[in-house]
Structure 1
Amino acid sequence: MSGRNTQSDTHTALANQHGPSLTTKKVNDQITTILRLILCFNFLIAPVKDGLAPLVSVYLVAEKGWDAASIAASSMVFTQNFAFLIMKSIVEGVATCFITPCKNSVVLGLIGHEQFDEVAKANEIADHAGSFLFIVIAGVVSFVLYPNNVGVFYIIGAGGLMACLSLLLMPLTISEGESDSDSSSSPSSIPDGADARGGRRSSNRPGLSRTRSLIDQKSSRNLEGEEATSYSSIIKDKNIAIFASSVFFFHLGNAAVLPLLSQTLAIESGRAGIPFTCANVAIAQISSMFATWGMGLALKRGIPYKIPLIVGYAFAVPIRCFAIVLLLKFWTNNYALLAMQLFDGVGVGTYGLSLTCLTKALTKGTGRFSFTLGFIITMHMVGAALSNLIGGYIVNLSSYIWGFISLGAVGSASVFLASFIHVKDHGHGGSVTEDLTMKRHTRTAEVKKDEEAEKDGDDGGDTDGGTEVTSNPIQV
Structure 2
Amino acid sequence: AALTIFLVLRINPAEIDYEEARGLDKTTHQTINIAQVFRDHPMLMVVGLTLLLFHLGNAAMLPLLGQRVATNELMNPAVYTAGTVVIAQATMIPMALLAAWYSHKNGYWLLFLVALLVLPVRGVLAGTVPGLWSVVPVQILDGVGAGLLGVATPGIVAQILRGTGRVNMGLGAVMTIQGVGAALSASFAGVVASWLSYEAAFLALAGVAGIAVVVWLLCFDRGVSSSPLKVSV
Q: Which residue of 2 aligns with 1:323?
A: 125
Question: Partners in 1 of 2:153 and 2:101 — Cα distance?
Answer: 16
Q: Which residue of 1 aligns with 2:220?
A: 421
Task: Find the partner of 1:257 among 61, 81, 90.
Answer: 61
SS in 2 for 1:229: coil
Which AA in structure 1 matches 2:77?
A: G
Question: Partners in 1 of 2:181 and 2:54 — Cα distance?
Answer: 8
Pairwise mapping of residues 165-314 of structure 1 onto structure 2 (< 5 A)?
A: 165-167=6-8, 169-173=9-13, 213-224=14-25, 225-236=28-39, 237-269=41-73, 272-302=76-106, 304-314=107-117
Distance 1:353 1:171, change over 3 A: closer
Q: Which residue of 2 aligns with 1:64?
A: none
Which AA in structure 2 matches 1:221?
A: R
* C-alpha deviation, 1:257, in angstroms: 0.6
* C-alpha deviation, 1:267, in angstroms: 3.2
Question: Partners in 1 of 2:215 and 2:224 — Cα distance?
Answer: 20
Which stretch shows the higher mean deviation, 288-297 or 272-281? 288-297
1:150-183 Cα shifts (integer Å, max 9, x gaps) = xxxxxxxxxx34433433x23434xxxxxxxxxx
Q: Which residue of 1 aligns with 2:167?
A: 369
Is the Cα–Cα contact under 8 Å of residues 87 and 143 in structure 2 kept in the other structure?
A: yes
Which AA in structure 2 matches 1:401?
A: E
Is the Cα–Cα contact under 8 Å of residues 266 and 276 in structure 1 kept in the other structure?
A: no
Distance 1:307 1:273, change over 3 A: same
Identity rate, percent: 24
Root mean square deviation of aligned Cα: 2.4
Is the Cα–Cα contact under 8 Å of residues 266 and 277 in structure 1 kept in the other structure?
A: no
| 2:157 is the counterpart of 1:359 | yes
1:305-364 Cα shifts (integer Å, max 9, x gaps) = 11121111111x21111111111xxxx231333331111111111111111111111110
Question: Partners in 2 of 1:423 and 1:164 — Cα distance?
Answer: 38
Distance 1:297 1:407, change over 3 A: same
- Counting matched residue pairs gives 229
SS in 2 for 1:340: helix
Q: Which residue of 2 aligns with 1:404?
A: 202
Is the Cα–Cα contact under 8 Å of residues 109 and 226 in structure 2 kept in the other structure?
A: no
TM-score (norm 1): 0.45
Which AA in structure 2 matches 1:272?
A: N
Q: Can you give the 5+ residue segments of structure 2 that lack an aligned partner in the other structure?
A: none
* C-alpha deviation, 1:300, in angstroms: 2.9
Which AA in structure 1 matches 2:17?
A: D
Pairwise mapping of residues 17-56 of structure 1 onto structure 2 (< 5 A)?
A: none
Task: Find the partner of 2:144 among 337, 346, 350.
Answer: 346
Bigger Rg over Cα:
1
SS in 1 for 2:76: helix
Which AA in structure 1 matches 2:19?
A: K
Is the Cα–Cα contact under 8 Å of residues 361 and 423 in structure 1 kept in the other structure?
A: no
Which stretch shows the higher mean deviation, 411-420 or 357-366? 411-420
